[in-house]
């Protein structure tokens, strides 16, 4: 899922995302809450309409961003007080408030408010953090069920909106298990594995996913948050992960890092100054069909905004292409063309 | 003609320019000479191929940019010595060198090297400046005719490439006349009116165009450089001007200024925060069809790069729409669907 932090997948127009075959994008609750504000978005009919994205949308709970504001937050059992990175104003997020904001945004999938346990965290710290996450999951889900009908459009039952729980537990497999079992009892619409890709070694990421995934119901979407590199997402998808999100393809693109079938390519390198080949000879995306490495390097060197756009389009095409190939390879075994793919119908 | 200073019409992908109906764009010789370098572009087959623009291209002579480097240049009869704004390195441009660089870039139209007379300039200064421009026009054309075959592709006669002369003369109509007559004697492929939109009042711009235009042959393209606002370009086109270029639609766009059928609109204004109408209700462009003023304002407020892209697309659509309407309105009178339009076939 391409990440659209502030209601835009950075540098890429929505029609291009459609042409790339993106079926779902993310919005960040924290950012949209601060600007333009969830009530403004609600008044305008919700995030789909506001950003003109008539396809699936997922909003995070705001938790991850808030917990990234190291110096600007204070956590209690009730919630988190934090200061805006924009103007220093004080805000208080509870599980209930996070869900309220997400309902106002009206994404197809909202996420329970959790605490993303930092890495490293010792066992007592991870246990304490998990206690918060599990209490907040309960409160998030209860509030979601009571208020899901308050979406920004006419939908008395609010049936279309889903709420996912997030498994935390640091790097302790028994805590992960405890959390997963508790969340599954609560019967969320889907389950995420959070608190990964926070600085831990990759084999630990893999171990946590491998241990946690089997505990989550196969008939509901299973989502690993915040990953990853191309080989990672393919590996996790083949393990049974249905959804992943990461800023990496677009953020790396803006810094000149292209993901290709031949590995990573830093387009700023002088060796590409007169390289008339496409960014990735094996790629059929609109950028690789039209532009050369030399041109992309020139745009980067010249500080031209088109650089970010073209690099992002290629990287997204590369990521989406990986997932498409995984789906294609799964299809014969299951006899289901949609295997491994979450299909959501967005409201209009 | 949208301006593509560094080989890109800022923030807008080439396929979008095609979808907008842009038939010709500009490249800036000064910028491309410095980065990535004209010899690199020549080795890669020319500017069309380098930037993937298989349509018409025009390059300026570099003169205007060099003359904008107030503190960094020294003019002699032979040419101009200047320092790069990028790294302070010293360079010397003569009419011959400007033409050599433009031939290496291989645009469809190259411009004679001229001195853009500043405003205000007293009569003796304007006369002296004009003397340079006329001498340099002669040298530019002679050099062009001798070397036009040295294009970056196989074209023994170099027939496709054209060279335009530039009428200067400050704000003195008799100097403009003198220059125009001299240039027409030299028999350029087309004629530009330069040295306008340099700070003079608009009625003076209009007077200079009105006085100069009739002196230039109607059967060759007549080009007014560096203009202008939407009402200006319509006015000049209706007077018989065939070509104009300006950074205004794209530069203004990046600063949040939209040109619309209802006048100028500063999309940053708070009044648009929840305005769900299209940027211009009378516009059928891909931006006005899809996005709201509220969304464009949000992108601007949030500092998102997509803001520049979408605003630029609309402004270019608005400008190109004006010219299309002028062409359409001329067509019945002349019985020629291409009236007022310069059609160029780009080499591939």
* B15 contacts A294? CB cut-off 8 A: no
Nearest to A309 among B50, B291, B309 (CB): B309
- pLDDT computed for residue B291 by the predictor: 98
* A273 contacts B306? CB cut-off 8 A: no
- pLDDT computed for residue B52 by the predictor: 98
Bigger pLDDT: B255 vs B336:
B255
- pLDDT computed for residue B167 by the predictor: 98
Closest CA–CA distance from residue B50 to any residue of chain A (Å): 6
* A15 contacts B50? CB cut-off 8 A: no
Q: Determine the residue of chain B that is closest to A12 in CA distance.
A: B306
Task: Give A45's contacts in chain B (Cβ within 8 Å).
Answer: 276
Q: Determine the residue of chain B that is closest to A6 in CA distance.
A: B302
* A6 contacts B298? CB cut-off 8 A: yes
Nearest to B298 among A36, A301, A305 (CB): A36
Chain A residues with CB under 8 Å of a chain B CB are 6-8, 10-15, 31, 35-36, 40, 43-45, 49-52, 273-274, 276, 286, 290-292, 294-295, 298-299, 301-302, 304-306, 308-310
Tell me the pLDDT tens digit for each residue of B55-114.
999 999 998 888 888 777 899 999 999 999 999 999 999 999 999 999 999 999 999 999
* A36 contacts B292? CB cut-off 8 A: no
- pLDDT computed for residue A347 by the predictor: 42
Q: Determine the residue of chain B that is closest to A293 in CA distance.
A: B50
pLDDT band for position B341 (50/70/90)? very low
Tell me the pLDDT tens digit for each residue of A116-126.
999 999 999 99
Res A300 pLDDT > 60: yes
Task: Give A35's contacts in chain B (Cβ within 8 Å).
Answer: 298, 301-302
Mean pLDDT of A145-169: 88
Bigger pLDDT: A203 vs B340:
A203
* A301 contacts B35? CB cut-off 8 A: yes
pLDDT band for position B331 (50/70/90)? confident
What is the enclosing helix (H) or strand (E) of A259?
strand A257-260
- pLDDT computed for residue A50 by the predictor: 98
* B35 contacts A306? CB cut-off 8 A: no
- pLDDT computed for residue B332 by the predictor: 65
Nearest to B294 among A44, A273, A294 (CB): A44
Q: Determine the residue of chain B that is closest to A306 in CA distance.
A: B11
Tell me the pLDDT tens digit for each residue of A206-232.
999 999 999 999 999 999 999 999 999
Look at residue A316 and give its three-state secondary structure.
helix
Any idea what the Cα angle at residue B20 is, between residues B14 and B25, rounded to 5°?
A: 55
- Which of A267, A302, A317 to substitute to test the interface with B, most B CBs within 10 Å? A302
Mean pLDDT of A282-301: 98
CA distances from residue B295 to A40, A53, B251, B304 in whole angstroms, order as listed: 11, 12, 20, 11
Chain B residues with CB under 8 Å of a chain A CB are 6-8, 10-15, 31, 35-36, 40, 43-45, 49-52, 273-274, 276, 286, 290-292, 294-295, 298-299, 301-302, 304-306, 308-310
* A7 contacts B295? CB cut-off 8 A: yes
pLDDT band for position A342 (50/70/90)? very low
Summary mean pLDDT of chain A: 93
* A51 contacts B304? CB cut-off 8 A: no
Mean pLDDT of A325-331: 91
Helix axes B230-239, B305-334, angle to 10 degrees: 20
Structure tokens at B65: 């940019």
Mean pLDDT of A326-334: 79
Mean pLDDT of A240-248: 97
CA distances from residue B123 to A183, B194, B203 in whole angstroms, order as listed: 85, 17, 19
Bigger pLDDT: B281 vs B153:
B281
C-alpha of A172 from chain center:
23
Res A154 pLDDT > 60: yes
DSSP A70: G
Res B159 pLDDT > 90: no
Mean pLDDT of A55-62: 96
ipTM metric:
0.95
* Distance from C-alpha of B155 to C-alpha of B248, rounded to nearest angstrom: 35
What string of H, E and C letters represents the secondary structure of chain B? CCEECCCCCCCCCHHHHHHCCCCEEEECHHHHHHCCCHHHHHHCCCHHHHHCCCCEEEECCCHHHHHHCHHHEEECCCCEEEECCCCCCEEEECHHHHHHHHHHHCCCEEECCCCCCCCCCCHHHHHHHHHHHHHHHHHHHHHHHHHCCCCCCCCCCCCCCEEEEEECCCCCHHHHHHHHHHHHHHCCCEEEECCCCCCCCHHHHHHHHHHHHHHCCCCCCEEECCCCCHHHHHHHHHHCCCEECCCHHHHHHHCCEEEECCEEEECCCHHHCCCCCCCCCCCCCHHHHHCCHHHHHHHHHCCCHHHHHHHHHHHHHHHHHHHHHHHHHHHHHHCCCCCCCCCCCCCC
Q: What are the start-end ranges of the H helices in chain A?
A: 14-20, 29-34, 38-43, 47-51, 63-68, 95-105, 123-147, 173-186, 202-212, 230-239, 248-254, 286-290, 293-301, 305-334
A60 is a catalytic site residue: yes
Confirm whether pTM is higher than 0.90.
yes
- pLDDT computed for residue B311 by the predictor: 98
Q: Determine the residue of chain B that is closest to A254 in CA distance.
A: B305
- pLDDT computed for residue A93 by the predictor: 95
Res A348 pLDDT > 70: no
Share of chain A above pLDDT 70, in %: 94
- pLDDT computed for residue A337 by the predictor: 46
* B308 contacts A305? CB cut-off 8 A: yes
Mean pLDDT of B120-146: 97
Res B277 pLDDT > 90: yes
Look at residue A312 and give its three-state secondary structure.
helix
Nearest to B44 among A36, A52, A276 (CB): A276
Nearest to B304 among A6, A49, A273 (CB): A6
Point out the catalytic residue in the list A15, A60, A87, A284.
A60
**Which one, of B230, A218, A14, lies nearest residue A27 by Cα?**
A14
What is the count of residue pairs from A and B with beta carbons less than 8 Å apart?
110
Structure tokens at B263: 């006048």
* Distance from C-alpha of A289 to C-alpha of A284, rounded to nearest angstrom: 6
């Amino acid at each position: 899922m391409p990440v659209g932090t502030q209601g835009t997948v950075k540098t890429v127009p929505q029609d291009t995302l459609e042409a790339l075959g993106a079926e779902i994008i993310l919005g960040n609750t924290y950012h949209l809450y601060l600007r333009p504000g969830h009530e403004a978005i609600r008044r305008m009919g919700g995030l789909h309409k506001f950003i003109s994205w008539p396809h699936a949308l997922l909003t995070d709970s705001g938790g991850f961003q808030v917990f990234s504001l190291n110096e600007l937050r204070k956590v209690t059992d009730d919630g988190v007080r934090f200061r805006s990175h924009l103007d220093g104003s004080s805000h208080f997020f509870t599980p209930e408030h996070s869900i309220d904001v997400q309902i106002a945004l009206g994404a197809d999938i909202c996420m329970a408010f959790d605490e993303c346990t930092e890495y490293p965290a010792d066992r007592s710290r991870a246990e304490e953090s998990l206690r918060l996450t599990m209490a907040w999951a309960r409160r998030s889900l209860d509030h979601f069920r009571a208020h899901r009908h308050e979406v920004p459009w006419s939908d008395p039952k609010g049936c279309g909106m889903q709420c996912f729980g997030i498994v935390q537990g640091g790097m302790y497999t028994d805590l992960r298990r405890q959390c997963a079992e508790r969340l599954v009892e609560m019967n969320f619409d889907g389950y995420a594995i959070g608190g990964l890709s926070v600085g831990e070694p990759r084999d630990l990421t893999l171990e946590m996913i491998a241990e946690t995934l089997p505990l989550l119901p196969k008939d509901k979407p299973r989502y690993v948050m915040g990953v990853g590199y191309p080989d990672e997402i393919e590996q996790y998808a083949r393990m049974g992960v249905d959804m992943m999100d990461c800023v990496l393809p677009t953020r790396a693109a803006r810094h000149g890092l292209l993901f290709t079938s031949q590995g990573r390519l830093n387009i700023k390198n002088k060796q590409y100054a007169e390289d008339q080949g496409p960014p990735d000879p094996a790629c059929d995306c609109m950028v690789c069909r039209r532009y050369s490495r030399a041109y992309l390097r020139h745009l980067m060197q010249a500080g031209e905004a088109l650089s970010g756009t073209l690099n992002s389009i290629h990287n997204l095409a590369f990521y989406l292409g990986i997932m498409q190939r995984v789906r294609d390879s799964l299809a014969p075994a299951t006899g289901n063309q949609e295997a491994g793919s979450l299909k959501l119908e967005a409201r209009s």
